[in-house]
Amino acid sequence: MSSLYVRYAHESSSIESMTFPAEIDAAVQEIHRECSSTTSAETALASLLLSKTVEHRYLIWWRYRILYKQSLTVWVKSTSDYGVLLKMLASPLEHVEAEILRKATVGLGTKEEWIYPVVMARSNAEIALLKIAFREKYGDDLVTVLSGELSGDLKKVILTAVRGEVANFDASVHTNAKARADADALYKAGEGKHGADKKTFIDTLVLSPAEHVRGISSAYEAKYKTSLVGVIEAEFSGDAKRALLFLVRSVLEPVSLLVELFETTLKGGSKNVYGLSACVVRYYRHLVHIRTTYMRSYNQELRTRIQGVVSGECYQLLLSVLDAAETEFSTSASGPVCGSASATVDDAVSGDAIGTSASVEKKAGISSSATVSTSSKESAVAGSKTATSTVSGEKSTTELAVAGTTAMSSLYVRYAHESSSIESMTFPAEIDAAVQEIHRECSSTTSAETALASLLLSKTVEHRYLIWWRYRILYKQSLTVWVKSTSDYGVLLKMLASPLEHVEAEILRKATVGLGTKEEWIYPVVMARSNAEIALLKIAFREKYGDDLVTVLSGELSGDLKKVILTAVRGEVANFDASVHTNAKARADADALYKAGEGKHGADKKTFIDTLVLSPAEHVRGISSAYEAKYKTSLVGVIEAEFSGDAKRALLFLVRSVLEPVSLLVELFETTLKGVARTYMA
């Protein structure tokens, strides 16, 4: 929640001089052409924007302004709820939030309930960007405006927040001891005296990093048997209370907080469609978490609840936004995060994802796959997402496939792709602190493994990777030196304490040494992976074992499986290009597969393997649809008919990782668990 803006927003000072990717220029030109040549410019704009990722929409807005000297919103003429929502989608989020604050502070009466969700619990960088956007749009200083419109405790809370002076988290400063000391200070400022010292409360909570607020909360509840939420409710009132509760709950239970915010907004009915639109656009990156938790909390689909409040073209556009978010972020937990353990499991996992959600780099091509309808707004909005269903209350198979395939092809953390330069990087202070803590704790206890497990699991997966590297640099050895156990526990702990590319290299080593090759361990590692990750895996294998992975696999495998695996580890999957991987090419490749298999006696297996293994996931999905439409047989069925044994299983793993990745992984877990059960029952 502290980081809602896209990555490029933080580079906006230099964005006008940047070289924009070709697909952004193509998208901008397509928008200008479509909007200029149709009477349904709003329909075209909605359709085209929602076929892009949130990061790309930001670049499109900028590039359009640079090339055509005007904002994308020039095409939005409607002043209805639909037009308001479309304007939000066609604008940078910092501009949307600046407008929310403007609307909250002009006219009759200040709308305090619009202000604190925007400014509380935000990073210093985003507060700075928000101030710049407000001044650019309205010519006024945001702090001056808020100071003139607010009063009392709420004014103190909000003005502290918009100072943008939250301390950076430092593990050597924000220790458990400091958390306990700050908890004591809050007690003395509130419950421990007559009349609360509200400045201490406000400064401590608003200016502390989220990790430290979490520590204060734990320390306070442990010692005084009262939650921070309870203390705030006792010591503050009105909007000041609500603003501080928003801050603390955004740290302790962010998803539940957002779900309640949506429900409160929806209770406003048709009079609060602006607020609902703002929520959907502001928390776009987190709509997947919100939708899931909303269903669990209220036993109703969020889209069904929205339908009871909004109708017509605005309802259709809201549904399309929800669907676009599902497509882009339905595997949201895979991104880098910057936080530590939270109060509850659900909110801990989702809360970290909310901290710094990572965007899926590509959906299904940037420039050509959005088909613009020139009929009614409702039909165009309903069809605005590429290859997804916009009317179902559940994730469609294609939505899961797009997001799931992206996740499966890219399993390594972001820093793994920068490992060639990682030894010379400047590591964050919290990484150095964590490394020193691990070394100190493991050196000073007989339970080094327990200490290592506890410390590692308090960190994010991205931070564990950096910790491994930093430990190796500082102490000239791997973290796994502290793992002496050879039991299952020790094996698992070694995996947790190692980069994933090293874990996978070891899996392949174990699969190819000893009596008999374990083929079933090999294809889940190498099939359906990105070229970059195959390259990293080869490097890790050579570093760990001094052997060339391709040579080892070539010597251990045989038959069709060897052809499949060696094709996969070439790392030569074509990059998806919407101008190349068209529907026509998908139909042509489907015909080629038919002629190579069912259409002749004895399959041309090389055509099958090369076409499926070396095509990008988006194109495999297209081939599958074309094949089934024309020949009434699924790709899965064709593979099962034309291949056998491990070659069949490897190709099925590849195709199902594209068409039904979640179901595939569930079955993989179940198959593995059955093997564990048999081992322990024997």
* pLDDT of 192 over the 60 cut: no
pLDDT tops 50 at residue 391: no
Q: Give 450-480 pLDDT, tens digit per residue.
A: 999 999 999 999 999 999 999 999 999 999 9
Angle CA 526–532–533, to nearest 5 = 40
CATH of residue 625's domain is 1.10.220.10
What pLDDT was estimated at residue 444?
86
**For residue 293, what pLDDT is reported?**
94
Query: Which range is least confidently modeled, 258-262, 299-303, 368-372, 497-501?
Result: 368-372
Does residue 618 form part of some domain? yes
Residue 515 has pLDDT above 90, yes or no: no
Q: Which of 134-138, 222-226, 338-342, 445-449 has the lowest mean pLDDT?
A: 338-342
Nearest CA to 227 out of 214, 217, 240, 213 is that of: 217
Q: Over the stretch 267-284, which tens digit does the pLDDT of each residue have?
A: 988 788 999 999 999 999
pLDDT (0 to 100) of residue 367 = 31
Tokens of 380: 């165009």
Does 87 have pLDDT greater than 50?
yes
DSSP output for 257-275: HHHHHHHHHHHTGGGGHHH
Q: Does residue 484 fall inside a structural domain?
A: yes
pLDDT reported for residue 19: 86
pLDDT level of residue 677 (50, 70, 90 thresholds): low
Report the percent of the chain where pLDDT is more than 90.
69
Banded model confidence at residue 256, pLDDT cuts 50, 70, 90:
very high
pLDDT at position 342: 35
DSSP string, 420-440: GGGGGS---HHHHHHHHHHHH
Q: Is the pLDDT of residue 357 over 80?
A: no
Asked if residue 507 has pLDDT above 80, the reply is yes
Quick one: pLDDT at residue 590? 94
Residue 221 burial (10 A CB sphere; 0-12, 13-18, 19+): middle
Percent of the chain scoring above 70 in pLDDT: 86
- Mean residue pLDDT of the chain comes to 86
**Would the pLDDT of 661 be above 80?**
yes
455 located within any domain: yes
Instruction: Give a yes or no: residue 474 inside a domain.
Output: yes
Token duo for residue 115: 């202000």
Higher pLDDT, 680 or 5: 5
Least confident interval from 63-77, 134-148, 191-205, 346-360:
346-360
Which of 439, 469, 498 delimits the end of a domain? 498
Q: Comparing 28-32, 183-187, 443-447, 517-521, which segment has the lowest mean pLDDT? A: 443-447
Structural domains counted in the chain: 2
Whether residues 588 and 677 share a domain: the answer is: yes
User: Are the CB atoms for 243 and 116 separated by under 8 Å?
Assistant: yes
* 573-589 pLDDT, tens digit each: 998 888 888 888 999 99
| Same-domain status, 578 and 484 | no
- pLDDT bin (cut points 50, 70, 90) of residue 39 is confident
Question: Is 561 among the domain residues?
Answer: no
User: Does residue 152 fall inside a structural domain?
Assistant: no
The whole-number pLDDT of residue 601 equals 55
In this prediction, residues 626-641 reach a mean pLDDT of 92
**Domain assignment present for 76:** no
What is the average pLDDT across 27-48?
Answer: 92
Instruction: Express each pLDDT in 110-161 by its tens digit.
Output: 899 999 999 999 999 999 999 999 999 999 999 999 999 999 999 999 999 9
**Domain end among 498, 522, 537:** 498
Q: Taking residues 177-186, report their average pLDDT.
A: 94
- Within-domain flag for 442: yes
- Within this chain, do residues 494 and 580 fall inside the same structural domain, yes or no? no
In DSSP notation, 89-152 reads HTS-HHHHHHHHHHHHHSSSS--HHHHHHHHTT--HHHHHHHHHHHHHHHSS-HHHHHHHH--H
User: What one-letter code names the amino acid at 484?
Assistant: K
pLDDT band at 390 (very low <50, low <70, confident <90, very high): very low
Confidence class of residue 682 from pLDDT cuts 50, 70 and 90?
Answer: very low
- pLDDT grade, residue 10 (50/70/90)? confident
* Whole-number pLDDT of residue 118: 98
CA angle 672, 676, 677 (to 5 degrees): 115
pLDDT at residue 408, rounded to an integer: 66
On the question of pLDDT at 370 being above 70, the answer is no
Q: Is the pLDDT of residue 15 over 90?
A: no
Q: Does the pLDDT of residue 100 top 70, yes or no?
A: yes
pLDDT at 678 over 50: yes
CB 546 within 8 Å of CB 554: no
Q: Domain limits at 673?
A: 573-681
For residue 62, pLDDT over 50 is answered with yes
Q: Is pLDDT at 332 greater than 60 in this prediction?
A: no
Last residue of a domain, one of 469, 498, 527: 498
